[in-house]
Amino acid sequence: MSVIYVLLTISICVALIFFIAFVLSVRSGQYDDAYTPSVRMLFEDELVAPTPKENNNQNNSQTE
Amino acid sequence: MNNDQCYHCGEPNAKTKIVFDDRTFCCHGCKTVYEIFSTNDLGYYYQLEQNAGATPDPITGAYDYLDNVDIISKLVSFDEDGVQVVNLTIPHIHCSSCIWVLENLNRLHNSIKNTQVDFLKKKLRVTYATEDYSLKELVTLLARIGYTPNISLKDYEQKSATVDRSLIYKLGVAGFAFGNVMLLSFPEYFEVEEFWLEQYKVVFRWLMLVFSLPVVFYAASGYFVSAYKGLTSKMLNIDVPIALGILALFLRSAVDVVFDFGSGFFDSLTGLVFFLLIGRFFQQKTYGFLSFERDYKSYFPIAVSRLQQNGNEENIQIYEVEKGDKLLIRNQEILPVDCVLLSGGARIDYSFVTGESQPVRKEAGDKLFAGGKQIGGVLKVEVLKSVSQSYLTQLWSNAAFAKNKASDFLTITDGIGRRFTWAVLSIAFVAMAFWLFYDATKAINVFTAVLIIACPCAIALAAPFTLGNLLRIFGKHNFYVKDTNTLERLAQVQTAIFDKTGTLTSASENTIFYEGIELSKEESSLLKNTLRGSNHPLSRSLYELLDAHEIKTLDEFQEQTGKGVLGRHDQHSIRAGSAPFVGTEPDSNSFDTAVYISADELYKGRFVFKNKYRKGVREMFVELSKNYSLAVLSGDNDGEREKLAQLLPLTVPMHFNQRPEDKLAFVEKLQETKKVLMVGDGLNDAGALAQSDVGIAVSENVNVFSPACDAILDAGRLADLAQFLRLSRNGITIIKMSFVLSLCYNLVGLYFAVTGQLRPVIAAILMPLSSISIVAFTTLATNFLGNKLKKQVKT
């Protein structure tokens, strides 16, 4: 009946994986700004699809 | 399409609106931004939010100091391999359009690699290649599209403050352990004599012990530290009984498990710590975009232009400015030091210092004080004192700025903690003594049970949740309080002191009245026609005031910058401007801004501009005077005394000609007998704000300016100050009611504990039940109060 030990080990391992994921996400700064991403995801990408920049020479002075 | 509004910034269009691309704009600045956006496929900016833009400020040479490599290296947070990363504070960030356009900044220049907005902190992080781009060009670009960054000495000194995330980690650890321990202890709750459960009980209990270790030694460590500090300074704060409870819980449970006496109280232990940490988390509501610690450094430029002996200009950091240096101060630049004006038409706006926004005119040879902002042309000045020695900045060496108001204050929770600790300890010892005689085997059990059940979790939660919720409610009504400790101090205030200029009066609105010989109809018509040609702000407001007249073409029109305007029509002439310009003596008894008028070279009279008192000031004073003693302090002369006396209740004393140190001393003297609230706005109030028990800064634009303080109040809400104060007092009442409620729970628990019947399952029910009911009660009660506030504000 030692299967319960196996189950316990697995369940704790799973719990620990999630816990480590949580710590890593906090460390990477995910929780520092909890507001901006909620706005950012609503922007519609298709409206800003990059078009070839032929007419924006007024700000760009880079040499290629 | 709304034709009365600027398509870019939403300001009502002036008579001289600009039509471009079928859209109307209030000025060329706004039109230019629109052009930049629309030619770079950023037109979506206008679809996200309407009229989201800001009129760009005129920028000419304002960022020249960013050519200085030393300064750049201190501003950027990363600089390697031709890539720089910089964090800029941009006060204008306010909507989704702002986020969108700033995060698509790379479309405006190829060298900008990546931009990221932190909306709540109003910060923009830009990564750019330095090969053919520079910080100066970036900042200039931002300023050109209306997102002028705020670069101040403060950024220069502390570039990267590390974020403290320990509370989140602790909360994670405690929550993780709490959930797992609950799961593991579930079988114990039913006390079923089941074979397999009996078999593995020991394994489960040891696992719970292991899970509780990080909770006690990491998550709860703050409570042990705080309790130890409290004990060493002979103050029994609320953390002492909490730490005692946690320790008793842990030791008792560990002994239970190790010697196989029972299951222990690990579920209660982890739950307790988890709930307590949630309380702490809730308590810390931070306003990332506001700063309560600002001093003069946040407003001063980081660099100025110094004139070298040979006449060349160089940009130097302001700490390098020395006595005798000659500096150039340009339009919109702030004077960093006390100095003497050498040449140039000085019109100095001291609104940072005094709250008075009308610029003051100065002549060559006049002394100028640090903190003033030049409006108009270029000034040449000679430095009298270095930055830290200047009149205004000296104030910051006062001891008032060094003290920590929060640590000197005994909160209501800590106050009850002291009595509570003694009560719990005496009950525990009496109960133990009793059981020693009666049944000695149970004595230690009872002793620890009392400490466990009496752990004041609910009491410790009452204040964070009540005050934390009030803090949020206040924030929604544009009253931003630094922390819950400040809120408690606010409730105890007995005296309120007000600054006048900029606090009681509005900085942006004026009332204008005329003194002197009445102007004839022809003269007034000529004046209006003359003023039409002038763009000076005083001319504009005067122009709006005068009755409409037919438009005449003037025979002659002259505008002398910094002096006045002259108009001539049909042999008649009119002058409007400074006293010398119209040929009269300025009225030395009045410091109010005035426009002098002469017709046909004959002095007629003057228009005086006076600050308008904010709406509801009178009602607020009447309301406050019922419960508080009040006073008004003003740095101005007593010219306003009569007007102010009409506005205020008779009992309110008024003090005029108060220098910043006087205000500080006034507050200090009052504090001998009373708790003082100071309400001010400018840097000249900073000393009094720091000295007072609670300092509230009134600000017309909370993003831009406020001196160091404990709370920031939106100027439009000044009239509601009495409501806010009452609400904070009601908040304390709610906390006291919660204390009574939680004591009831404790009494029930103590009954079980003292009689020796406390089983883990009872503790596991009682502890969360009391905590949750306290949280529910305080949240509902404060929301109820908040709704009342909303109604009062509406009516």
CATH number 3.40.1110.10 is the correct assignment for the domain at B507-613: yes
pLDDT of residue B723 exceeding 50? yes
The confidence score (pLDDT) of residue A13 equals: 92
Contact B103 A40 (CB under 8 A): yes
pLDDT of residue A58: 40
Task: Provide, as residue numbers in chain A, all residues whose Cβ is less than 8 Å from the Cβ of B111.
Answer: 62
Interface with A, mutate which of B44, B94, B107, B284 (most A CBs under 10 A): B107
Greater confidence (B668 vs B73) lies with B668
- B470: Cβ contacts below 8 Å, ≥ 6 apart: B487, B727, B728, B731, B782, B785, B786
Task: Give chain A positions within 8 Å (CB) of B203.
Answer: 4-5, 8
Instruction: Identify which of B40-44, B516-520, B636-640, B781-785 has the greatest average pLDDT.
Output: B781-785
Architecture of domain B68-157: 2-Layer Sandwich (3.30)
pLDDT greater than 70 at residue B27: yes
Amino acid at B245: G
Strand B629-633, strand B495-499: pairing = parallel
Of all residues in chain B, what percent carry a pLDDT higher than 90? 7
Cβ-Cβ contacts under 8 Å, B41 against chain A: 48, 50-51
Is A36–B165 a contact, with Cβ atoms under 8 angstroms apart?
Answer: no
Is residue B258 over pLDDT 80? Answer: yes
- The pLDDT-based confidence of B58 (bands split at 50, 70, 90) is low
A chain contacts of residue B132, beta-carbon cutoff 8 Å: 61-63
Query: Right CATH number for B1-55 from 3.40.50, 1.10.10, 1.25.40, 2.30.170?
Result: 2.30.170
Structural element, H or E, at residue B342? strand B339-343
Interface with chain A: mutation pick from B32, B46, B48, highest number of A CBs within 10 Å: B48
Location of structure tokens 């009391």: B770
Q: Which residue stretches of chain A have pLDDT < 50? A: 46, 49-64
Topology of domain B478-506+614-721 in CATH is Rossmann fold (3.40.50)
Mean pLDDT, range B324-333, rounded to an integer = 79
Q: H or E segment at A16?
A: helix A3-27
With beta carbons under 8 A apart, name residues in chain A contacting B94.
Answer: none
Question: Tens digits of per-residue pLDDT, B440-491?
Answer: 778 888 888 888 888 888 888 888 889 888 888 888 888 888 888 888 889 9
Q: Using CB atoms, which residue from A40, A44, A50 is nearest to B99?
A: A40
Cβ separation B40–A53 shorter than 8 A: yes
Percent over 70 (pLDDT), chain B: 88
Concatenated DSSP letters for B472-501? HHHHHTTEEES-HHHHHHHHT--EEEEE-T
Least confident range from B43-52, B120-129, B347-356, B680-689: namely B347-356
Mutate to test the interface with A, among B122, B138, B180 (most CBs of A within 10 A): B180
Contacts of A35 (CB under 8 A, 6+ apart): B119, B120
Phi, psi of B310 (to 5 degrees): -80, 5
Q: How far is B290 from chain A (nearest CA, A)?
A: 15
Check A39 against B207: CB less than 8 A apart: no
Residue B217's pLDDT is 93
Band (pLDDT 50/70/90 cuts) for residue B765 is confident
**What confidence score (pLDDT) does residue B171 get?**
92
> Does the pLDDT of residue B29 top 70, yes or no?
yes
- Residue of chain A nearest B37, judged by CA positions: A56
- Residue B702: predicted pLDDT: 66
What lies within 8 Å, CB to CB, of B231 at 6+ separation is B240
pLDDT, mean of residues B724-736: 91
Chain B contacts of A55, Cβ < 8 Å?
Answer: 39
**CA B539 to CA B185: how far, in whole Å?**
79
Partner residue opposite B120 with nearest CB, options A15, A26, A33 = A33
Residue B600, number of CB atoms within 10 A of its CB? 13
Indicate yes or no: CB of B118 within 8 angstroms of CB of A56: no
Kindly list the residues from chain A whose CB atom is less than 8 angstroms away from the CB atom of residue B44: 44, 47-48
| A36 with B111: Cβ contact below 8 A | no
Q: What is the pLDDT of residue A59?
A: 41
| Domain range list for chain B | 1-55, 68-157, 166-283+411-465+730-794, 478-506+614-721, 507-613
Contact B40 A56 (CB under 8 A): yes
The predicted pLDDT at position B795 comes to 46
For helices B537-545 and B521-532, the axis angle rounded to 10 degrees is 140
Q: What is the ipTM of this complex?
A: 0.73
Query: The tokens 């009954």 sit on which residue?
Result: B751
Which residue from A5, A26, A56 is facing B169, i.e. has the nearest CB? A26
Distance, C-alpha B675 to centroid of its chain: 22
CB B389 within 8 A of CB B319: no
Q: Which residues on chain A are in Cβ contact (under 8 Å) with B200? A: 4
Instruction: State the Cα–Cα distance between residues B114 and B410, nearest whole angstrom.
Output: 48
pLDDT in the model for residue A60:
40
Contact A1 B36 (CB under 8 A): no
d(CA B323, CA B308): 14
More confident: B346 or A20: A20
Query: Which residue in A26, A31, A45 has the most chain B C-beta atoms within 10 A of its own C-beta, making it the best mutation to test that interface?
Result: A26
pLDDT for the residue B734: 92
- Closest residue to B108, CB basis, from A42, A51, A59: A59
Q: In the predicted model, what is the mean pLDDT of residues B325-334? A: 78
- Residue from the list A26, A40, A60 with its beta carbon closest to the beta carbon of B168: A26
* B39–chain A nearest CA distance, Å: 6
Q: Which residue has the higher pLDDT, B347 or B231?
A: B231
For chain A, list residues whose CB is within 8 angstroms of any CB belonging to chain B. 1, 4-5, 8, 12, 15, 19, 22-23, 26-27, 29, 31-36, 39-40, 42-44, 47-48, 50-51, 53, 55-56, 58-63
Cβ <8 Å between A59 and B141:
yes
Please tell me whether residue B414 adopts helix, strand or coil conformation. Answer: helix
Q: Which of B70-79, B233-242, B725-734 has the highest mean pLDDT?
A: B725-734
Q: How far is A16 from chain B (nearest CA, A)?
A: 9
- As a whole number, the mean pLDDT across chain B is 81
Contact B119 A35 (CB under 8 A): yes
Q: In this predicted structure, what is the pLDDT of residue A63?
A: 36
Q: How far is B650 from chain A (nearest CA, A)?
A: 49
* B80, β-bridge pairs: B83
Give just the sign of the alpha carbon dihedral B55, B478, B89, B347. Answer: positive
Could A12 and B180 be called an inter-chain contact, meaning their C-beta atoms sit closer than 8 Å?
yes
Q: If you write DSSP's letter for every residue of B54-76 in order, what string do you get?
A: -PPPP-SSTTGGGG-HHHHHHH-
* Beta-bridge partner residues of B9: none
3-state secondary structure of B602: strand
Q: Which of B529-543, B551-565, B676-690: highest mean pLDDT?
A: B676-690
Q: What are the tens digits of pLDDT across the range B361-409?
A: 777 888 888 878 787 777 888 888 877 777 767 766 666 676 777 667 7
